[in-house]
């Protein structure tokens, strides 16, 4: 199985100095249970939805993932002047792009 985790600092693992974040923890478990699986951590701290949509297209698709773990919106909620409708449209665009890139997409909550 090929898995791509994409989003901002929560995916990157910035807040977990001991274990490297949730994706590093998932990777460690996958290596034990499913050693043939690949997990790509494409977390970029501070990234907003517009940049994320582009990266789903340019960085996820070439990896041909079976599964995308998609974390959206945290930085836009905290730092952006984006209005609610603009946020919803940008979030929908990210989800649509992810759904076009993998057969399964999981929207992840903040960890």
pLDDT in tens, the chain (111 residues): 999 999 988 888 877 778 888 899 999 999 999 999 999 999 998 888 989 999 999 999 999 999 999 998 777 777 777 888 988 899 999 999 999 999 999 998 764
- The rounded distance, in Å, linking the Cα atoms of 60 and 70 is 11
- The tens digit of pLDDT for each residue in 52-63 reads 999 999 999 999
Return the SS3 of 32.
helix
Q: Is the CB of residue 66 less than 8 Å from the CB of residue 103?
A: yes
The pLDDT score that the predictor gives to residue 111 is 40
Could you tell me where the beta strands, DSSP code E, fall in 1-111?
2-7, 38-43, 67-70, 104-107
pTM of the model: 0.89
């Amino acid at each position: 199985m090929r898995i791509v985790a994409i989003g901002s600092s929560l995916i990157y693992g910035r807040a977990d100095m001991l274990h490297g974040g949730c994706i590093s923890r998932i990777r460690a478990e996958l290596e034990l249970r499913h050693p043939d699986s690949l997990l790509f951590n494409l977390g970029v701290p501070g990234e907003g939805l517009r940049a994320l949509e582009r990266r789903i297209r340019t960085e996820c698709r070439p990896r041909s993932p079976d599964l995308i773990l998609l974390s959206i919106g945290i930085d836009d909620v905290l730092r952006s002047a984006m209005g609610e409708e603009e946020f919803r449209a940008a979030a929908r665009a990210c989800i649509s792009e992810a759904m076009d890139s993998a057969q399964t997409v999981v929207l992840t909550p903040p960890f």
